[in-house]
Amino acid sequence: MSIMQVLNIQSIPGLPPLQSLITCLKNRQLLLVLDNFEQVIEASPILDEMLAGVPGLKVLVTSRVGLQLYGEREFNVPPLDVPDISVALSRTELMHYGAIQLFVERAQAVLPHFTLTDENAGVIAQICARLDGLPLALELAAVWIRVLPPALLLERISQARLPVLTRAVRNLHNRQQTLRNTITWSYELLSSAEQRWFGRLGIFTGGWSLEAVEAMMQSIAADQEETVVFNSPLEMLEQLLNSSLLVRLPGTDRRARFTMLETIREYAQERLIAQGEFERLRDWHACYYLREAEAAELGMRGPQQLEWRARLTTDRDNNRAAMEWLLQRARDGMRIGLCSFSGQGSSEGSKGVAGSRILSSRGVPGDGLLAAELCLRLASAFRPYWEWQGHLPEARNWLGAALEVPCEHGGGETVLAARAKALSETSRLASLENDQPRAVTLAEESIALWQQLDDPVGSAGALLHRVWAAYAMSEYEIGKRLCLEGLRHISTTDDTWLRAQLLFYLGTAEGFTGDYQQMRSYYTQSRELFEQVGDKSAVADVLKDQGAMLLLEGKYVESIDLLLKSVQLCYKLDHKQYITTNICWLSTAFGMRGEPDPAQASILSAQLKGAGEGLMDTIGLTTWTETHPFVQLVHQYIRSQVDEQSWEAALAAGRALTVEQAIDLACLGKGELL
């Protein structure tokens, strides 16, 4: 039915229908409401003419596609608000969320006795979150409460949303009968090129950057004879945003990010499979995020370490998806073709692969690379990030899975180098878990491979992790010898960061063997090199260990000063592993200082020890220093200054502290606040 029919306006003889309508409305005040205008979006210029010819006219349009008229003001209709499922909320708190309210209301329409309970509240919250708060999706899902308990409904939705979200309702339009029909309605409004790119963007998980889309376009242009339709990625993204199929995410001033609602992404992946591009683009996606991870591994050693860490955190869903895919392809013995590497690289460019001359210097052969190699490289590149974030169990799981994949045949030197690096990184994790025999075995296997490959930089990196295990087992002379061997492997210009690490560990050996002057010299050299490359986290690590070593000299006040300086820097960097070990050492330092009296110092020490133990449990850390004979002897002395009940109470109080409260407590113990 036309606007003229609804308003009961007749055409004026001699005038076209539009001019007749404008003439009749010219002196009227009118609000015109047009619903589902995307069906006739080509008619939007008519609205422009009407607005120009009728001063008192206002038009309210609902449409899945923007009109793209001058003066148009868009009001986005967002999904209903959903709870953060990582935060435990009561059923009363959950009922304040629109998505929960709608789900419960529609569930009660088909099952009157259904209520939100303490038992099902968490599951219902997950259902609403997985459905992105979309009203139609919530209504279609709630109907299943009549036949499925919430936990089973969540399981079905987690496996695949679209097959579940369907129901025949006689008084709804066909496009609203299922969620798939609703999305298909929008999809079919796209041009063929827009449809192809909509499917391709479904390859990303949790969002993507503009740089990632640019790289994908370059890769596809290099590999396929595809007619260029869009002048730039921005043009394509703008078209899909205008069709309400994408969402622009909040981001930094320099990085634009986009995403799809998960239900829409599931549909996009179906289209991508139908286009026959799914596996190729999954390969490309994994290679892109491998390059990003390897660039970040190097970047986190320099002045932009916080920016790189933030990028890895922002793309954690893509990173995990890349790891899962490479692991699957590796287990199947697959190769990743050369085309998957075209258009690759981070926006800042790649400077190679950390810790290996071979991996940095070799290109991609014509037949591609074994997925097993790429899987090992990706897991290795993430180890420093996982340690920084306090995700040690995740690091252990991924590296362990990657190392279990057999890759003896057809890989050549780069596969061996990738395996050597993964063994070295896993050795570091074993030391952090205080499994020193395993750490030694892994490091020595890595060293043997690097020597076989004649890669001195790789050997030096593996020696570094072997040294850490030696210190944990009180083998200080062995550690010192290995540090000197590592330094001989690299020149002063080879790898400044690695040289600084070896000097740092050499200083620790000198401290444990009583040469404090030489210890300070090596620590100073190391810190200066870390400052030169801009690695603030490594500077904080040196300050931490130097503060701990001062305890051996009986310089408790100086020790506390350095440890507080380190923990405050670590807090700014949000380096969870270093924060934790700093708090543990501060516990020891305050207890040994014994001020204002041994009993009060013991209580403060117990509180900080409890805080440190709680943080260690959270991040999966078992620091070897806690089982060192010297540290155990000191802890026995500190504990003896108060009765058992007071000690245990203080320990429990410390475990209840937040990170900020623990640091403030240490600062108060020194007489200053953070």
Per-residue pLDDT at 68 exceeds 60? yes
The identity of residue 642, as a single letter, is: V
Q: With both helix axes pointing from N to C terminus, report the angle between 278-299 and 305-314 in degrees, rounded to the nearest 10.
A: 150
Per-residue pLDDT at 411 exceeds 70? no
Nearest-angstrom CA–CA distance, 99 and 83 = 9
Looking at mean pLDDT, say which of 172-186, 397-411, 637-651 comes out highest.
Answer: 637-651
Residue 166, SS3 per DSSP: strand
Per-residue pLDDT at 311 exceeds 90? yes
Per-residue pLDDT at 607 exceeds 50? yes
Lowest mean pLDDT among 148-162, 317-331, 442-456, 561-575: 148-162
Nearest-angstrom CA–CA distance, 184 and 468 = 57
Using CA atoms, how far residue 496 sits from 20, 385, 410, 493, 526, in Å, is: 79, 20, 34, 6, 10
What's the pLDDT score for residue 236?
92
The identity of residue 375, as a single letter, is: C
The whole-number average pLDDT for the span 605-626 is 87
Per-residue pLDDT at 357 exceeds 80? no
Nearest-angstrom CA–CA distance, 234 and 479 = 54
Return left, alpha or beta for 475; rule: phi > 0 is left, psi -120 to 50 is alpha, else beta.
Answer: beta
The whole-number average pLDDT for the span 521-549 is 96
Using CA atoms, how far residue 209 sits from 104, 173, 184, 215, 450, in Å, is: 36, 36, 25, 10, 36
Query: Could you tell me which residue, 331 or 86, shows the higher pLDDT?
Result: 331
The two structure tokens encoding residue 538: 């490594």
The whole-number average pLDDT for the span 459-483 is 94
Residue 592, SS3 per DSSP: helix
Do 268 and 498 touch, CB atoms closer than 8 A? no
What's the pLDDT score for residue 44?
86
pLDDT tens by residue, 285-301? 999 999 999 999 999 99
What's the pLDDT score for residue 365?
60
Residue 14 CB contacts under 8 Å (≥ 6 apart), including other chains = none
Do 621 and 575 touch, CB atoms closer than 8 A? no
pLDDT band at 404 (very low <50, low <70, confident <90, very high): very high
Per-residue pLDDT at 26 exceeds 70? yes
What's the pLDDT score for residue 599?
93
Lowest mean pLDDT among 74-88, 334-348, 385-399, 636-650: 334-348
Query: Could you tell me which residue, 177 or 14, shows the higher pLDDT?
Result: 14
pLDDT tens by residue, 27-66? 889 898 988 888 788 888 888 888 888 888 898 988 878 8
What's the pLDDT score for residue 606?
95
What's the pLDDT score for residue 79?
87
The whole-number average pLDDT for the span 209-214 is 93
What's the pLDDT score for residue 349?
43
What's the pLDDT score for residue 674?
39
Query: Could you tell me which residue, 5 or 592, shows the higher pLDDT?
Result: 592
Per-residue pLDDT at 512 exceeds 70? yes
Q: How many helices (H) and strands (E) does the chain have?
A: 32, 7
The whole-number average pLDDT for the span 433-453 is 95
Looking at mean pLDDT, say which of 26-30, 83-87, 534-538 comes out highest.
Answer: 534-538
Among residues of the chain, what percentage have pLDDT more than 90?
A: 57
The whole-number average pLDDT for the span 124-141 is 89
244-252: long-range contacts, CB 8 A cutoff, minimum separation 24: 244/64, 244/65, 244/186, 245/186, 245/187, 245/190, 245/198, 246/201, 249/207
